[in-house]
């Protein structure tokens, strides 16, 4: 059993493109930077449900190691696919990839139709840069729950990492169709996917600007177009002729943005 006293957990690296993992409850929030706290050991007389609830509270407060204690105590009394999935999430948040993968697989052994562990195993493979495997797992999750915006977003991130920008755009477009705010959920049931370079980040932002323009969301399109320019996307002049930006070009903000040319944008 882990020490019940003050624990310091290192935060995950700073990231850019949204990549979500889930436990089935879309209102569950996963944070990235843990604080210092003192937590009591799981009481022996607590019910599995009480232990799980306490684990959820600790994980919401970013006390991942303590949450792991409570989830394991609950599992010892009453194992189940959802709680193995929650345990895997807590382990993933502190980069215990092997442990997380093991517990996501345990969840699947108990319920082969549970979409979230497939998605979460995809996150593990993504973090290990096993993009081909991650894509297969995301597709399996989508097969089970086709209307999950986060699953499609993850699939897009994996394709983007492989530099298959056409398929990435298709996956991102479906994610936006299902949830226009999917890329703003930076701490909502998810973590972020690292992009390998600032050029990739700028390209990613330009792709999102184009997708939001295509669905008529001008404000978000302008937001990501500005970010792409500030991060040095070299193909930004394509926006002057790309059909996706046709309506955006009618907006006075477009001419102002293109004329402004943020200082960090290389000539």
* Pair 232, 266: CB distance under 8 Å: yes
* Pair 84, 110: CB distance under 8 Å: yes
In whole angstroms, give the CA distance from residue 109 to residue 136. 18
* Pair 42, 51: CB distance under 8 Å: yes
DSSP codes joined into one string, 37-102: ---PPPPTT--HHHHHHHHHHHHHTT-HHHHHHHHHHHHHHS--HHHHHHHHHHHHHTT-HHHHHH
193 forms beta bridges with 17
Convert 157-212 into a string of H (helix), E (strand) and C (coil).
HHHHHCCCHHHHHHHHHHHHHHCCCHHHCCCECEEEECCCCHHHHHHHHHHHHHHH
Q: For residue 64, what pLDDT is reported?
A: 94
Dihedral of the CA atoms 202, 208, 211, 212 (nearest 10)?
A: -120
Q: How large is the greatest C-alpha to C-alpha distance in the chain, in angstroms? A: 67
> b/e map of 10-41 (b: 16 or more CB within 10 Å)?
eebeeebbbbbbbbeeeeeebbbebeeeebee
Tokens 């479906």 identify what position? 174
Q: For residue 19, what pLDDT is reported?
A: 59
Residue boundaries of the structural domains of the chain: 17-196
Query: Which residues are CB-neighbours of 204 under 8 A, at least 6 positions away?
Result: 16, 17, 160, 195
In whole angstroms, give the CA distance from residue 5 to residue 36. 9
User: pLDDT tens per residue, the chain (267 residues)?
Assistant: 444 433 433 333 334 444 566 656 655 544 445 555 556 888 888 999 999 999 999 999 999 999 999 999 999 999 999 999 999 999 999 999 999 999 999 999 999 999 999 999 999 999 999 999 999 999 999 999 999 999 999 999 999 999 899 999 999 999 999 999 887 764 334 443 445 566 778 888 899 999 999 999 999 999 999 989 988 888 888 999 999 999 999 999 999 898 876 555 444
Q: For residue 9, what pLDDT is reported?
A: 37
Q: For residue 15, what pLDDT is reported?
A: 41
* Pair 16, 204: CB distance under 8 Å: yes
Q: What are the phi and psi torsion angles at 36 (to 5°)?
A: -90, 125
Does the domain formed by 17-196 have CATH 3.30.565.10?
no
Q: For residue 58, what pLDDT is reported?
A: 95
């Amino acid at each position: 059993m882990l020490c019940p006293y003050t624990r310091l957990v290192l935060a995950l690296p700073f990231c850019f493109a949204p990549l979500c993992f889930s436990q089935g409850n879309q209102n569950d929030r996963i944070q990235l930077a843990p604080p210092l706290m003192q937590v009591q050991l799981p009481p022996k007389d607590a019910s599995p449900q009480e232990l799980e609830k306490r684990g959820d509270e600790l994980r919401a407060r970013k006390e991942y190691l303590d949450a792991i204690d409570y989830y394991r105590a609950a599992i010892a009394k009453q194992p189940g696919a959802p709680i193995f999935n929650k345990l895997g999430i807590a382990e993933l948040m502190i980069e215990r990839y092997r442990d997380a993968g093991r517990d996501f697989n345990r969840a699947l052994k108990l319920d082969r139709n549970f979409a979230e562990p497939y998605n979460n195993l995809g996150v593990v493979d993504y973090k290990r840069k096993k993009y081909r495997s991650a894509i297969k797992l995301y597709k399996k999750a989508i097969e089970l729950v086709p209307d999950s915006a986060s699953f499609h977003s993850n699939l897009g991130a994996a394709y983007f990492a492989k530099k298959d920008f056409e398929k990435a755009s298709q996956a991102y477009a479906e994610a936006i169709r299902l949830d226009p705010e999917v890329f703003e959920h930076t701490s909502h049931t998810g973590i972020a996917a690292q992009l390998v370079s600032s050029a990739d980040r700028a390209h990613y932002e330009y792709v999102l600007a184009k997708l939001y323009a295509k669905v008529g969301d001008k404000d978000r399109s302008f937001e990501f177009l500005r970010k792409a320019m500030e991060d040095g996307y070299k193909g930004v002049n394509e926006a002057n002729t790309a059909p996706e930006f046709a309506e955006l070009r009618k907006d006075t903000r477009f001419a102002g943005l293109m004329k402004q040319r943020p200082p960090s944008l290389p000539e």
